[in-house]
Amino acid sequence: MTRNVRGGIAGAVAATLWTALDPVLERTFRTPYADAKLLGPFITEGPLEPLANAATHAAGGFAFGYVFCRLGGRGVTKGVAAALAENTLLWPLLAVFDRIHPKRRRGEWPPLVSNPRVFAQATTGHALFGVFLGVLSRRV
């Protein structure tokens, strides 16, 4: 197995750990939003939605970890920096999700892109992901 694939696996594990901490982040930042819940509802809603959420978040983590290791990333400092850079660069795309996401359209989620609690939660989650990825990537 190549180093890059092991990096992808590290990213998937890191994203899964982040997903497991989402209930704590949701309570801490007082928002029902979670990055792991962003794509799942476009696949399915109802009882299988948590599985779709976990799968899409782990897949995104795999892709991130693969690219991170491919570019020579390793360690906690670089993991956190890369994850926070990704969060900041992609944040404006949430304006699209504000218009099309099923949970936003039904009023189950607050506005996303302009909400400081959502931004703080996503930033904290990305930082945690970066820590997990950094620790795991040292073993790659």
80 has a pLDDT exceeding 90: yes
For the entire predicted model, the pTM comes to 0.95
Tens-place pLDDT, residues 88-112 = 999 999 999 999 999 999 999 999 9
CB 65 within 8 Å of CB 10: yes
Q: How far is CA 81 from CA 43, 75, 86, 107, 109, in A?
A: 30, 10, 9, 33, 28
pLDDT at 43 over 80: yes
Look over the chain and give the mean of its residue pLDDT values, rounded to a whole number: 96
